[in-house]
Amino acid sequence: MSRREQWEQVKQSMLGQAMNPNAMKEMENIPDKACGLCKNFSENAYASDGRGYCNVLKFGSDIAKQPPVYVTKGEIGLVTFFNTDASRCRYFDRMKLVDTDGTECADPAYRRAQRQMEKFNK
């Protein structure tokens, strides 16, 4: 696979769910094991649409496949959304605290500003 094709795949993975017309409705459905509840998930603060990156899995990984594909070496982190089902991910490590108050945060590692997470925690 050429470098250009790799970047095209990255672009599609980043825009795929955001360009979906039903994306807002789908964001209301959060699985029990969601990427947004994992310690390895880093939210993209610029986009603020729920997209983020996995700190462990790299580009080429696919946790939706059966069996899942895990790539842990590489430069580009796996682009994922906070509501992606992580039930098959062996690297899932649930956060003990999910901070849904974006106005008050002492530790950025716990900052999750998605409004959708408020419903999940109640």
Is the residue at 58 inside a domain? yes
Sign, CA dihedral 65-69-72-77, equals negative
Supply the pLDDT for residue 92: 94
Sign, CA dihedral 52-55-57-60, equals positive
Is the residue at 36 inside a domain? yes
Supply the pLDDT for residue 88: 92
Question: What digits encode the pLDDT tens for the residues 68-85?
Answer: 999 999 888 898 888 888
- Single out the residue of 44, 54, 58 nearest to residue 112, CA to CA: 44
CA distance 101 to 90: 29
Is the residue at 64 inside a domain? yes
Q: Taking the model in full, what pTM does it have?
A: 0.63
Residue 121's pLDDT band (boundaries 50, 70, 90)? low
Residue-number span of the structural domain to which 31 is assigned: 3-96
Q: Which residue has the higher pLDDT, 36 or 18?
A: 36
Task: Tally Cβ neighbours within 10 Å of residue 39.
Answer: 15
Is the residue at 44 inside a domain? yes
Is the residue at 84 inside a domain? yes
Supply the pLDDT for residue 89: 93
Is the residue at 102 inside a domain? no
- Single out the residue of 88, 19, 13, 23 nearest to residue 53, CA to CA: 13
Q: How many domains does the chain have?
A: 1
Supply the pLDDT for residue 108: 53
Is the residue at 117 inside a domain? no
Residue 119 has pLDDT above 80, yes or no: no
Residues ≥6 apart with Cβ < 8 Å to 22? none
Residue 91's pLDDT band (boundaries 50, 70, 90)? very high
Mean pLDDT on 14-35: 66
Supply the pLDDT for residue 104: 58
CA distance 104 to 111: 9
Is the residue at 21 inside a domain? yes
